[in-house]
Structure 1
Amino acid sequence: DSVTFKKLGFIVIDEQHRFGVNQRKALRQKGENPDVLAMTATPIPRTLAITTYGDMDVSRIDELPSGRKAIETYWIRSQKIEQMYRFVQKQLEQQAQVYVVTPLISESEKIDLKNAELIFDKFNELFAPKYKIGLLHGQMPNDEKESVMNEFSNHKIDVLVSTTVIEVGVDVPNATVMVIYDANRFGLSQLHQLRGRVGRGDKQSYCILIADPKNDIALERMKILTQTTDGFVLAEEDLKMRGSGDLLGSKQSGLPDFKVGNPITDFNILETAQQEAEQLFKETDAINKPENKVLKLFLNVEFEQLNNFD
């Protein structure tokens, strides 16, 4: 809050989905209408809906870097976990490295979810001492976390059991397998980000989702992930399932009260409205014409109160 910029003109927000609406708004308000570039592999539903209204221009990189192969994604139920162990064994024999992700650090009496410490013990039982198993979670001291990641990066650890602390910013080209326990407990965007930790070299990579979905939506999410590795497609599906949130407020998902049109079902109408709005602002002084007086007043009030488009 105490930082003041002399003349802030350009903002780059990387991993946009990890920030809240108000955090991004606070940064924009450090300058006078600065240009903003938001980058992410997984657009949040609200942002995707906002692009419909013409407030953001979208650029898509829809091809992999040279030499990379598309990640193969599989979903299995927990009763078939032995298949996963056999697959991991084969990959380790080929000198590959493996991530194993779980939602919890230690055992919970309240919720029946696999935890990192329990899985760490299981993988040690199955694969040690021939292969080294590492453990990483957010409650470890920073220097210890850094030490574990360095060991994994230098292939001194073969299997890294971790919580979601490895979701972004981790780049180990030799890691080719991502196993995610209780995958139905994660959102589509988070699963896509975790999957992105593999497939960073020239070897074929794999993502194995272990989940026992309890409802149709959870089941649909597992199916979608096995069908596409395109972050924008996933975001579109997320938008359909979770809703767009408040386009002028701070909710990033959920179903707002639509006064005019729904960005999912009324896409074509909204596109036409967007073109009309662009035309209105292209015409010199059109917004100041008497017939647009109410519109101008409404826009001024909304912008002053909310100013949350990003």
Structure 2
Amino acid sequence: AIAVANNVQVAVMAPTEILAHQHLASFKKYAEMAHMTCAILVGGTPAKERKAILGGLAEGRIDIIIGTHALIQKDVIFKELGLAIVDEQHRFGVLQRGDLTSKGLNPHLLAMTATPIPRTLAITYHGDMDLSIIDEMPKNRIPIVTKVVDEQRLKKVYDFMKEEVAAGRQCMVVYPLVEETEKSDLAAAVEMHANLSENIFREFKVGLIHGRMKKDEKDVVMDAYGRNEIHILISTTVIEVGIDIPNATVMLIEHADRFGLTQLHQLRGRVGRGSEKSYCILVRRNFTDNSKKRLRIMESTNDGFVISDEDLKIRGPGEFFGIRQSGFLKYKIADMVTDGPILRKARKAAFELVKTDPNLNQSVHELIHTRFMSEYQDKLVQVNIS
């Protein structure tokens, strides 16, 4: 509202159409009260409607636009974009976030996520991005219990899921692939749906949802799940964001060792949204040191920022001047995680230096200027993208 009152436009980018439509419903409720115009632009927007929206953005008739990657298409032009909001920021690449902010003249940027990517967390450690943390759970929420199990214990897990469904609650089962391939022995959602519905949970209604389904097909499944007509939902990671079913209390993640920490935490967040106690069960089938470390972290905390901190230690911060969002920097001395205060002091000293000699023209700064231009000149485009 403050942005619109200052005669600039607001863009909200979400990773999925489901989440974009949820945001539209929330924004519209308040936008109409404040007499602000609000619209949505996604991949499935009809051509005629899309043309009208593009015209409204270019002429400034639309104050707030909510959308998916459709917002960063070349023909999307704003009259004056002043605030860009990226929800579930970890789902977008550096260049995609940069494409959104490039739609305006240095607009303000708000990045939202429960689990910041290593690159963004590292940028905040350097003091180059302000950080606000919401560390309180919504009212009446109970912390999710997370357990790692081996496949030998699956029968007990299935029995527990039956008890939850019999008590009127719902469950989700996530698989990493849609179908088996010659190169992978991962349990596939489509095949396991047949197995679980015909053999394990015959007395319950078992649904299936995955990314290759058409939007209308997915909507039918999710609507049925929302009405508790589907008791157990088998899915790929398509449910990672934008699914809000307060009655779902059990999340079973197959081959949990194949998922990253961020993805596991996001999937876990699909349960525990109601007042009932909820559970996230991680099935481990591969016993590498890294996978054991990741799953141990998941068992020990529900805090997304603690998880992101551990992810930063495991994967490294990536490139500040490039597009890699993880990977290790070649520091000679500094440690990204433990040397935050020193790094911020170094940053302050660098700002003071540039304040007195913006172009590094003084002879005492000649070596810094030479090295900076030789190593970083071609990478300055990405440095301002969080």
TM over 0.5: yes
Task: Give the corresponding residue for 1:123.
Answer: 196
CA contact (8 A) 1:72 1:207 kept: yes
SS at match of 1:207: strand
Kindly tell me: are residues 203 and 79 of structure 1, through their superposed partners in 2, closer, same or farther at Cα, counting changes over 3 Å? Answer: same
C-alpha deviation, 1:189, in angstroms: 0.3
Task: Give the corresponding residue for 2:314.
Answer: 241
Task: Give the corresponding residue for 2:289.
Answer: 216
Kindly tell me: are residues 69 and 292 of structure 1, through their superposed partners in 2, closer, same or farther at Cα, counting changes over 3 Å? Answer: farther
Counterpart check, 1:165 vs 2:234: no
2: CA distance between counterparts of 1:220 and 1:61?
26
1: CA distance between counterparts of 2:261 and 2:182?
26
Of the three residues 248, 257, 268, the one matched with 1:195 is 268
Task: Give the corresponding residue for 2:145.
Answer: 72
Of the three residues 232, 236, 250, the one matched with 2:305 is 232
SS at match of 2:84: strand
Give the residue type in structure 2 aligned to 1:177: V
Task: Give the corresponding residue for 1:143.
Answer: 216
Task: Give the corresponding residue for 2:385.
Answer: 309
Counterpart check, 1:182 vs 2:258: no
2: CA distance between counterparts of 1:302 and 1:33?
20
Kindly tell me: are residues 248 and 262 of structure 1, through their superposed partners in 2, closer, same or farther at Cα, counting changes over 3 Å? Answer: farther
Kindly tell me: are residues 3 and 97 of structure 1, through their superposed partners in 2, closer, same or farther at Cα, counting changes over 3 Å? Answer: same
1: CA distance between counterparts of 2:104 and 2:333?
32
Task: Give the corresponding residue for 1:18.
Answer: 91
C-alpha deviation, 1:296, in angstroms: 7.1
Instruction: Tell me the TM-score normalised to structure 2 length.
Output: 0.74
Task: Give the corresponding residue for 2:119.
Answer: 46
RMSD: 2.2
Give the gaps of 5 or more residues in structure 1.
none
1:272-293 CA distances to partner (integer Å, 9 max, x unpaired)? Answer: 2133345557x6x564784785
Q: Which runs of 4+ in 1 moved over 6 A?
A: none
Of the three residues 48, 63, 78, the one matched with 1:5 is 78
2: CA distance between counterparts of 1:237 and 1:163?
25
Kindly tell me: are residues 4 and 292 of structure 1, through their superposed partners in 2, closer, same or farther at Cα, counting changes over 3 Å? Answer: farther
Kindly tell me: are residues 303 and 210 of structure 1, through their superposed partners in 2, closer, same or farther at Cα, counting changes over 3 Å? Answer: closer
CA contact (8 A) 1:182 1:210 kept: yes
2: CA distance between counterparts of 1:64 and 1:303?
39
1:230-268 CA distances to partner (integer Å, 9 max, x unpaired)? Answer: 111001100111111111110001123336734134333
Kindly tell me: are residues 8 and 143 of structure 1, through their superposed partners in 2, closer, same or farther at Cα, counting changes over 3 Å? Answer: same
SS at match of 1:9: strand
CA contact (8 A) 1:183 1:211 kept: yes
Give the residue type in structure 1 aligned to 2:217: E
CA contact (8 A) 2:82 2:108 kept: yes
Q: How many residues align?
A: 307
Kindly tell me: are residues 296 and 116 of structure 1, through their superposed partners in 2, closer, same or farther at Cα, counting changes over 3 Å? Answer: same
Give the residue type in structure 1 aligned to 2:111: A
C-alpha deviation, 1:89, in angstroms: 1.2
Give the residue type in structure 1 aligned to 2:349: E
Of the three residues 344, 349, 359, the one matched with 1:276 is 349
Kindly tell me: are residues 21 and 254 of structure 1, through their superposed partners in 2, closer, same or farther at Cα, counting changes over 3 Å? Answer: same
CA contact (8 A) 1:22 1:308 kept: no
Identity over aligned pairs, percent:
47
1:196-238 CA distances to partner (integer Å, 9 max, x unpaired)? Answer: 0001111111100001233111101111001001111001100
C-alpha deviation, 1:28, in angstroms: 1.5
Kindly tell me: are residues 306 and 157 of structure 1, through their superposed partners in 2, closer, same or farther at Cα, counting changes over 3 Å? Answer: closer
Kindly tell me: are residues 292 and 192 of structure 1, through their superposed partners in 2, closer, same or farther at Cα, counting changes over 3 Å? Answer: farther
1: CA distance between counterparts of 2:75 and 2:333?
40
Kindly tell me: are residues 201 and 279 of structure 1, through their superposed partners in 2, closer, same or farther at Cα, counting changes over 3 Å? Answer: farther
Higher RCO (CA-CA < 8 Å; seq separation 6+) = 1
